[in-house]
Amino acid sequence: MEPRSASWLYVTLCMMSLLAQGFNNHPTSSLPRVQRVKRGWVWNQFFVLEEYTGLDPLYIGKLHSDMDKGDGSIKYILTGEGAGTTFTIDDSTGDIHAIQRLDREFKSQYVLRAQARNRLTDRPLEPESEFIVKIQDINDNEPKFLDGPYRASVAEMSKIGTSVIQLTATDADDPTYGNSARVVYSILEGQPYFSVDAKTGVVRVSLTDMDRETRENYTVVIQAKDMGGQLGGLTGTTRVDISLGDVNDNPPIFDQRLYQMSVPESASVDSEVGRIWAKDRDVGVNADMTYSVIDGDGRDTFGIATDSSNRYAIITVKKPLDFEAKCSYTLKVEGANTHLEDGTTLSDVTTFSDVTIVHISVDDVDEPPVFDAPAYLLEVAEDADVGTLVRMIAARDPDGDNNTVRYSLDRSSDPDKFFYMDITSGALMTLRPLDREQLAWHNISVLAMEMNNPSQLSSVAVSIRVRDVNDNAPTLSDYLEAYVCDGARAGQSLSS
């Protein structure tokens, strides 16, 4: 066996930088002569540039043993990662080539083992040596915004320098080598409203007084360039859609200084009279309103509420209306925002409210006659003569026309016709003799009707109690027979 103490297997490597100097297509013999390396050199880690695009296999380096006399007796063996698939070796010369494109982003280094053997006996001449081929990065990846396009929002009227969003572009190149992965940000579209920090990618407001009510949406295009932004760097872009968030910077305004409304006098309590709206250019809670009646002669007669959307004022009837008593009312209505910025309360400001006047007319309605009492409780003696006046029933037309009223009895309430109602005077009189012992109460209905409009009809309940008089002699309830003896004395009790 050949001695090994004096021998040494070493690798010489051709750097890919030589390719940039025109050596990529030269034969091995034309490469600069590589001298034996001193033992102080870290020989077992080598670098080769990625993405070689030449037609010939890429020369990586050369295995050589001190025992190699150039007679072909030594066989060089290459094992490890990629041996035979990515890397090949000329077993006679020890020349190593890459036969596949190397991509640092796919695999950044390969661990290989080299050995020299006797070609005839296949015995190792050198101890197996391990070395690493590191794939050196070139700038072959552009920066990418992996999460784009982006959406962001910033409050309107924000100060210059307010942060909107931070963008990060990712570069697959080696961040530890050169500037291939050092990204610089710039803005291509969106000035003068926004800017971007070149180092951090933070998008900021660069123009004050941006008003959402004037313009709400902006499109910003951001570019990321590697190589520290230098000429020749690769670029990637993304879009940021920025919307301005609303703040309460607009007061509500009624579109009329005076509103005219009308309501029939017959409107029921809680019925709606009408709606008004103090418009606000803000949106969301910043446009929410509350309404109140702050003055006017109708504040006790009409109420006001805010609808469920917090936008409209609903004016309602609070008390029964009577055209003949009062035919018009005035309300002074205030509309105010309910939400203010920075904890401000409505009591602190007056600019976020507005005032208007609402004039309400009460319309006359043709109403039925109204009796002078809601019900009547009367009394008449049972021995009253036919034609006796029980009571004068009075009703009037509540309308301004004061039409003549005609009276009558609802015959279904007095089928036996005990009473009579004078059609013009409203005199309620007896029409038949009354007998308390037969019928002690009479419950009748009196009708009042406008003569010019028979459809306007009202009724009232009249209860008449028949008062008792002494018109019946006493009677025995049973027939009795008594017996007395012939010799009975005066005052003696009789037996039955």
What pLDDT shows up at residue 341?
61
CATH 2.60.40.60 residue ranges for the chain: 9-136, 150-245, 253-363, 370-467
Q: Measured between alpha carbons, how far is 314 from 32 in angstroms, rounded to an integer?
A: 96
Q: What is the mean pLDDT of residues 169-193?
A: 91
- Parallel, antiparallel or unpaired: strands 45-49 and 184-189: unpaired
Beta bridge partners of 104: none
How long is the chain? 496
Nearest-angstrom CA–CA distance, 390 and 379: 7
For residue 494, what pLDDT is reported? Answer: 65
Share of the chain above pLDDT 70, in %: 87
> pLDDT category, 83, cuts 50, 70, 90?
very high
User: Does pLDDT of 35 surpass 60?
Assistant: no
Candidates 62, 76, 72, 65; CA nearest to 27 is 62
Question: For 304-330, what is the mean pLDDT?
Answer: 93
Q: Which residues does residue 446 pair with via DSSP β-bridges, in sequence order?
A: 409, 460
Q: What is the pLDDT of residues 132-144, one digit of tens each?
A: 998 887 888 899 9
Amino acid 85: pLDDT? 93
Range 172-194 burial, b when 16+ CB lie within 10 A, else e: bbbeeebbbbbbbbebeebeeeb
Distances (CA, A) of 443 to 370, 386, 406, 434, 466: 20, 18, 20, 14, 11
According to the model, what pLDDT value does residue 110 have?
94
Buried b (16+ CB within 10 A) or exposed e, 279-311: ebbbeeebbbbbbebeebebbebbbbebeeeeb
Considering the four listed CATH numbers 3.40.50.920, 3.30.565.10, 2.60.40.60, 3.40.718.10, the one that applies to the domain covering 9-136 is 2.60.40.60
Model pLDDT, residue 129: 87
Taking only the tens place, the pLDDT of each residue in 354-385 is 999 999 999 988 889 999 999 999 999 999 99
- The 10 Å Cβ neighbour count of residue 78 is 19
Per-residue pLDDT tens digits for 86-100: 999 999 998 999 988
Mean pLDDT of 25-36: 37
Q: Which fold has domain 253-363?
A: Immunoglobulin-like (2.60.40)
Nearest to 442 by CA among 461, 459, 423, 458: 461
The whole-number average pLDDT for the span 291-310 is: 94
At 30 the pLDDT is 34
Are the beta carbons of 391 and 422 closer than 8 angstroms?
A: no
What's the rounded Cα separation, in Å, for the pair 122 and 201?
61
- Looking at the structure, give the CATH architecture of the domain made up of residues 150-245: Sandwich (2.60)
Q: How far apart are the first and last CA of the chain?
A: 171
Quote the CA–CA distance of 217 and 3 in Å, as a whole number.
Answer: 81
Class of domain 370-467: mainly beta
pTM for the predicted model, two decimal places: 0.60
What confidence score (pLDDT) does residue 475 get? Answer: 76
